[in-house]
Amino acid sequence: MKILQLGKFYPIRGGVEKVMYDLMLGLSEAGVYCDMLCASTEDHPAAEIQLNPCAKLFIVRTSVKIAGTMLAPAMIGKLKKIAAQYDIIHIHHPDPMASLALYLSGYRGRVILHWHSDILKQKNLLKLYKPLQSWLIKRADQIVGTTPIYVEQSPFLQHVRAKIDYIPIGVNPMEYDPRAVAVLKNRYPNKKIIFSLGRLVEYKGYAYLIQAMQQLDAHFHLIIGGKGPLEQQLVQLIAELNLQERISMVGFVADDEIPTYFGAADIFCLSSIWKTEAFAIVQIEAMSCGIPIVSTNIPGSGVSWVNQDQVSGLVVAPENATALAQAIQQIGSDPSLYQTYAEGSRKRYHENFSRDKMIEKCRRIYGTY
């Protein structure tokens, strides 16, 4: 059996393309032929890369970006040429370019539609894309989400629930150098480190997390990693609240440095406020290190399914700085409770969110066992 992962971008930056790439690698390492066709970003050249005997990465050139959508017409021609080689095309949504390429490819084989999230913010794009999205939903032989909650509650999928399943995202455990962790922790001596990581955009709710620090004592120190359009606004908020000594904005964190921050963290906090946050891979990366999580209960999102309340951490109301502060204080001030959630966090990762678990569930859906 040959599989094609279709959609999104290379180099790998976002969660959707990371899932695609990890599926390709995990399946191919298990002996299942699995390739990936995607568009370039960051001016990466078009390329065909043989990653191992069972996996090839096809990268086509992106011509233009409109309304946050990469347009890569070369994907249409490439898919037409190679589609007939594959028993299954596993397309990742939302990606209008990939959907158009599949529509025009003439492919007649089995289609798995991976529904990572609804299109929420780009209303004008959705109006244009909706007929193609409706075709894709109908065309798909099976639809999978990343959590049962998200696909069950998506307004676009209510009429096709009979063909819905889910594949929880899985990652390899974070591996960090204890010496690098010690160096980082020494920058914040005698502090309980709260870590948060993500793009500095509105739906991440960082303003509420910053405001929560006002209500926590000086034993807590917050580290926020990431860049984005709200950076200066958040820096200004920190200054206005006189929290410069208690909050560190560390900017972009390179892939090889991320494990060090997880290794140094005592609590991971996901303060997101909108359903745009459908899963949050950072939660399971933290869980792989046995870190208790504080996250938010976003209606229709799978975030609070990933972090199980009172098992791997605490789940609180979104857009509520006081609730965030109280949850952090509760976990951080009770050693027995902290240990319970730390153990629950690591256990939940191993039972649900390892890369091996993701590959196993995917193979069952493909029927390659």
pLDDT of residue 23: 97
Q: Which domains does the chain have, with CATH numbers?
A: 2-170+354-366 (3.40.50.2000), 178-352 (3.40.50.2000)
Find the angle CA(126)-CA(129)-CA(131) to the nearest 5 degrees. Answer: 115
pLDDT tens sequence across 24-35: 999 999 999 999
Amino acid at 207: A
pLDDT tens sequence across 281-329: 999 999 999 999 999 999 999 999 999 999 999 999 999 999 999 999 9
Instruction: Say which residues have a Cβ less than 8 Å from residue 237's Cβ, sequence separation at least 6.
Output: 207, 210, 211
**Residue 148: helix, strand or coil by DSSP?**
helix
pLDDT of residue 65: 67
Q: Which residues of 282-300 are buried (b: 16+ CB within 10 A; e: fewer)?
A: bbbbbbbbbbbbbbbebeb
Q: Which of 71-75, 209-213, 332-336 has the lowest mean pLDDT?
A: 71-75
pLDDT of residue 293: 98
pLDDT tens sequence across 85-132: 999 999 999 899 999 999 999 999 999 999 999 887 766 666 778 899
pLDDT of residue 67: 56
Q: List the one residue out of 365, 369, 342, 330 whose CA is nearest residue 142.
A: 365
Amino acid at 46: A
Instruction: Specify the pTM.
Output: 0.90
| CA 229, chain centre distance (Å) | 19
**Residue 5: helix, strand or coil by DSSP?**
strand
Q: List the one residue out of 37, 28, 38, 34 whose CA is nearest residue 8.
A: 38
Contact 80, 103 (CB under 8 A): no
| CA 80, chain centre distance (Å) | 29
pLDDT of residue 317: 98
pLDDT of residue 50: 97
pLDDT average, residue stretch 213-239:
97
In DSSP notation, 177-214 reads -HHHHHHHHHTSTT-EEEEEES--SGGG-HHHHHHHHT
pLDDT tens sequence across 186-212: 999 999 999 999 999 999 999 999 999
pLDDT of residue 69: 65
Q: Give the up-direction half-sphere exposure of residue 78: CA atoms within 13 A in the CB hemisphere.
A: 23
pLDDT tens sequence across 136-170: 999 999 999 999 999 999 999 999 999 999 999 99
